[in-house]
């Protein structure tokens, strides 16, 4: 029997991707437990959802620390209390330093609302419309020290329509995020992900 894996999810707001992962884990009976949801904002709505599902919650507020290094250290300590096999960034709006990322190498996942390597950073939907791309989407990737880079695990594409606004495009992309992020986490839980020469190989289910 595959050993249970512990998952910690980091959020900054409503945590809709966190909700999708929690619901998939329950529905699909993953050999994993979401042991904690941690936020850098006390007002994050996703904390309420986590608590209502019996998941431990914690707040590590970046505003309480004088530097990013101090915040990263406190956050790492809070995460490691739960002995995670995987840390999932689900709308966590902080840039994490290289030592933090290295500590969780190949066990730190993020989702970004673009088809990386296109449009790293913020305002991805606005950029997609300004550049007139015909396809936009979302990317799940392992986190590295370089912002919005790292080995790509999964992607989903959506067509861009001539009458799209930022909000309409964002809504379609988010719907795809809710599909591909749980799938990528499930692959990790089932030991199907391997990083070889900076590329992710997804193995068949054992």
Active-site entry in 103, 112, 125, 190: 112
DSSP string, 167-185: HHHHHHHHHHHHHHHHHHH
Residue 68 has φ and ψ, to the nearest 5°, of -65, -40
Catalytic, 112? Answer yes
Alpha helix locations (H) across the chain? 16-27, 46-52, 68-80, 98-103, 124-131, 166-189
Using only C-alpha atoms, what is the Rg of the chain? 17
Query: Which of 113-124 are b and which e, b meaning 16 or more Cβ less than 10 Å from the residue's Cβ?
Result: bbbbebbeeeeb
Supply the residues annotated as catalytic.
112
């Amino acid at each position: 029997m595959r050993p249970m894996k512990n998952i910690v999810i980091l959020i900054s707001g409503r945590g809709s991707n966190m909700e999708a992962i929690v619901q998939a884990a329950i529905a699909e009976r993953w050999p994993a437990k979401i042991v904690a949801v941690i936020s850098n904002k006390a007002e994050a709505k996703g904390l309420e959802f986590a608590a209502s599902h019996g998941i431990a919650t914690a707040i590590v507020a970046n505003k309480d620390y004088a530097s990013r290094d101090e915040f990263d250290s406190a956050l790492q300590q809070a995460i490691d209390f739960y002995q995670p096999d995987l840390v999932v960034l689900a709308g966590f709006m902080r840039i994490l330093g290289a030592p933090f990322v290295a500590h969780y190498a190949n066990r730190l996942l993020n989702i970004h609302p673009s088809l990386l390597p296109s449009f790293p950073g913020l305002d991805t939907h606005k950029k997609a419309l300004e550049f007139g791309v015909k396809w936009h989407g979302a990317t799940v990737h392992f986190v590295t020290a370089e912002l919005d880079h790292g080995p790509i695990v999964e992607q989903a594409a959506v067509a861009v329509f001539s009458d799209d606004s930022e909000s309409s495009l964002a809504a379609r992309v988010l719907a795809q995020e809710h599909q591909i992020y749980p799938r990528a986490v499930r692959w990790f839980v089932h030991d199907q992900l391997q990083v070889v020469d900076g590329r992710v190989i997804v193995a068949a289910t054992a």
